[in-house]
Chains A and B, each alone.
Chain A
Amino acid sequence: TQLLEQSPQFLSIQEGENLTVYCNSSSVFSSLQWYRQEPGEGPVLLVTVVTGGEVKKLKRLTFQFGDARKDSSLHITAAQPGDTGLYLCAGNGWGKLQFGAGTQVVVTP
């Protein structure tokens, strides 16, 4: 059973469209990280959110941490082919980092 549920599992969109990826749990986390993984490479950290209700922006990417620190979302505005990748959320709790299964995003020109 996955502690962190990510949805959708797969998302295919056209360049210029917007998308949102969700990361949900019944557990409270002290912080939550988002990673992006490209084929043949290891995941790379995009952002860490710490405070409930926090919103962080990274260019066209907007990350939100739920008020209760149980869920998070990643919104991409005007997606580009370079945004293609596997997006992973990971929650920090009890000294461990738990990963979700990931959302595969494909952005076609």
Chain B
Amino acid sequence: DADVTQTPRNRITKTGKRIMLECSQTKGHDRMYWYRQDPGLGLRLIYYSFDVKDINKGEISDGYSVSRQAQAKFSLSLESAIPNQTALYFCATSDSRDRVNTGELFFGEGSRLTVL
């Protein structure tokens, strides 16, 4: 089984619908992240969490919210999806040994979201 699991893997929805992407991990890492990937733009950070009570906005958090339900679970919500949120979304984890830098990221397999 994958260390970082994302569900669903693919989702097609309509404008205005609420969508939740879920992520669970078995690596025992404190830090979890949500990124979106768009062609030509690389990976951009949406939200990150250093532990259950520490959640922070990334560079493109508008239109998104997150919930850290437990150390192993981090979900991303789109309250009212719009077409320009069509993208490939990745959850990632890292350990917290380095207080300053982000260490190796372990990614899930991605969730492809299409908003019509």
Contact = CB atoms under 8 A, between A and B. Distances in A.
Interface in A4-54: 4, 6, 9, 30-31, 33, 35, 40-45, 48
Nearest to A9: B40
Given A9-B40, A101-B42, A43 B100 contact: no
Interface residues of B, number: 19
A65 interface: no
A43 B92 CA distance: 10
Interface residues of A, number: 25
B105 A88 contact: no
A96 B59 CA distance: 10
Nearest to B94: A97
B92 A31 contact: no
Nearest to A44: B107
Interface string B26-46: 000000000100001111110
A33 B104 CA distance: 8
Contacts of B35: 99
A101 B41 contact: yes
Nearest to B107: A42
Contact of B102 (A41, A42, A43, A92): A92
A109 interface: no
Given A30-B100, A42-B90, A42-B92, A100 B107 contact: no
Contacts of A97: 45, 101-102, 105
Interface of B: 4, 35, 40-45, 90, 92, 100-102, 104-105, 107-110
**Smallest CB-CB A-B distances: 6 pairs:** A42-B107, A97-B102, A101-B42, A99-B43, A99-B42, A92-B101
